[in-house]
Structure 1
Amino acid sequence: MKLTVYLAGQIHDHWRDELKHHAKEHKLPIDFVGPMENHDRSDNIGEEILGKQPNAILKDEAASSFNNFRTTILMSKADVVIALFGEKYKQWNTAMDASAAVSLGKPLILIRPKELHHALKELSNKANIVVETPTQALQALSYVFE
Structure 2
Amino acid sequence: MKVYLSGEIHTDWREQIITGAEGLDVTFSAPVTDHAASDDCGVAILGPEADNFWHDRKGAQINAIRTRKAIADADVVVVRFGEQYKQWNAAFDAGYAAALGKSLIILHGADHAHALKEVDAAALAVASDPAQVVEILRYVLTGALPE
Which bin holds the TM-score, normalised by the shorter protein?
A: over 0.9
> Is 1:76–2:63 an aligned residue pair?
no
**Which residues of 2 match residues 5-44 of structure 1 at below 5 A?**
5-24=3-22, 27-44=23-40
Identity of aligned residues (%): 39
Shift of 1:54: 2.0
Q: Which amino acid aligns with 1:14?
A: D
> Is 1:64–2:60 an aligned residue pair?
yes
Shift of 1:145: 1.6
CA distance in 2, matches of 1:90, 1:123: 14
**Which residues of 2 match residues 78-97 of structure 1 at below 5 A?**
78-97=74-93
Give the corresponding residue for 1:119: 115
CA distance in 1, matches of 2:100, 2:72: 7
Shift of 1:71: 0.2
| Alignment partner of 1:102 out of 84, 89, 98 | 98
SS of the residue corresponding to residue 110 of structure 1 reads: strand
After TM superposition, where is structure 1 displaced by more than 2 Å over at least 4 residues in a row? none
What is the number of residues matched between the two proteins? 142
TM-score normalised per structure 1: 0.93
CA distance in 2, matches of 1:34, 1:103: 19
Moved more, 10-19 or 58-67: 10-19
Q: Which amino acid aligns with 1:12?
A: H
Structure 1, unaligned runs of 5 or more? none
TM-score normalised per structure 2: 0.93
| Alignment partner of 1:141 out of 137, 141, 147 | 137
RMSD: 0.9
Q: Which amino acid aligns with 1:108?
A: L
